[in-house]
Amino acid sequence: MPKVPYHLDLPDVITSCVVFSSPHSGRDYPWSFLRTTVLDEHSIRSSEDAFVDRLFDCAPQFGAPLLRANAPRAFVDLNRAADEFDPALIEGIGRGGHNPRVASGLGVVPRVVSNGRAIYRGKLTLAEATRRIQHYWQPYHAQLRALLDGAHTSFGESVLIDCHSMPHEAVDAVARNSARRPEIVIGDRFGASAAPEIVARIDAAFVSAGLSVVRNTPFAGAYVTQAYGHPSRRQHAIQIEIDRSIYMDETEIRPNANYHAFRRLLRGVVADIAAIGHREQDLPLAAE
C-alpha cells in the first residue's frame, strides 16, 4: 500500500492564513495495488492531477503551507466524503439515495478512472475500503483541518486553495461561448464556499498573469470546498482547476515544453494568493 497518506511542506514561519492543498496529485502506486487492477501502470494514472503539487510547491516560500496527497486518486479519492461508498464496487454496501459521483464510479474508493475505464475485475471487501479510509483519507483530512484551524486561530480567517487539473476537453462547452478558451476554472460553489472579495482577488491573480478564467463551470467544487468553506465563519474554500494541456502532454503524462515557463508564471500567482492571507492590519480588504 502507499507508504504515507500525505506530504506536508511548511514555511519556516507561517505568515499567511492561506493553505494550499493538492488532494489528487498522489503518485505512489505500489505493486500490491497495481496487481489488483486490470489497468497498466500508465492507464491507471489518467485520473491523477499529475504535477499539480509541483506547480504549487513554491507556496511555503510565501509563508503558506502546502498539503499534498501521496496516495493516488485511483486508490482513494480525498475529494469525496468518507461515506461515499459505491455499491457496484464494494461488497455489503446497500444502495442509498442517488449520488451522481458514486453512480458514475467516482466514489471515495473509485471504480473507474477517466473515460469510465474500470479499475478492478470484481468487487472489493468493505474491510479493504474501510482500511483505505482509516489509513489515508482520515489522516489527510485531520491534517488539513489542523492547518485550517491553526490559520483561523492565528489570523482570524482561513483560506483553502484546493488545487486541481482538468483535461483540455473539459471546457469545450464553455469554450464555444467564450471569446477566449478558459484556462483556469475557479470554483466557489456559486458563492457558498467563499466570500466574493476573496474569490475576486484570486480571479485577479490569474488574470494578471495573462490567464483566461471562468467561474464554477464546469467545476464548482466538490467535497473539499463543501466541507471546509463556511464564509460566514471566515472560513473560505476555493477550488482551482488548471487546463492540463498548458503544462503537460496529457497522453504521455509528462511535462511538455511549456512546463517550466508555466511553473514560473504560476509562482507569481501563488505569491499574490498567499498575500491575501497576510495579517489583517496589513490587508484591509480581508478584514471587511
Residue the block writes with cell 486561530: 153
- Supply 91's cell numbers: 461488497
Average pLDDT over residues 28-57: 96
In tens, the pLDDT along 214-233 reads 999 999 999 999 999 999 99
For residue 215, what is the enclosing H or E element? strand 213-215
Question: In this structure, is residue 86 part of a structural domain?
Answer: no
**Mean of per-residue pLDDT scores for the chain:** 94
Is 60 part of any domain?
yes
Domain for residue 169, yes or no? yes
Supply the range of the domain harboring residue 234. Answer: 6-74+137-287
Which amino acid appears at position 74 of this protein? A
CATH of residue 15's domain is 3.40.630.40
Give residue 177's pLDDT: 76
Q: Which letter, b or e, does each residue of 142-152 get, where b requires 16 or more Cβ atoms within 10 Å of its Cβ?
A: ebbeebbeebb
Reported confidence tier of residue 279, pLDDT bands at 50, 70, 90? low
Residues contacting residue 25 through CB under 8 Å, at least 6 positions apart = 48, 49, 50, 51, 52, 53, 54, 68, 69, 163
How many domains is the chain built from? 1
User: Is the pLDDT confidence value at 285 over 80?
Assistant: no
The answer to whether residue 183 is domain-embedded is yes
Structural domain contains residue 231:
yes
Q: Is residue 193 part of a domain?
A: yes
User: Torsion-angle region of residue 63: left (phi > 0), alpha (psi -120 to 50) or beta?
Assistant: left
Give tens-digit pLDDT for 184-196. Answer: 999 999 999 999 9
Is residue 273 within 8 A of residue 202, CB to CB? The reply is yes
Within-domain flag for 30: yes
The CA radius of gyration of the chain, in Å to the nearest whole number, is 19
Please list the residues that pair with 186 across neighbouring strands: 215, 240
- 162 three-class SS: strand
Considering only CA atoms, which of 84, 71, 91 is closest in space to residue 132?
Answer: 71
Inside any domain, residue 94: no
Alpha-carbon dihedral sign for residues 168, 263, 157, 287: negative
Those residues with Cβ within 8 angstroms of residue 43's Cβ, 6 or more apart along the chain or in another chain = 113, 117
CB atoms inside a 10 Å sphere around CB 228: 22
Average pLDDT over residues 8-31: 97
183, three cell numbers: 484556462
State yes or no: pLDDT of 288 exceeds 60. Answer: no
Within 10 A of 85 (CB to CB), how many other CB atoms are there? 24
pTM of the model: 0.94
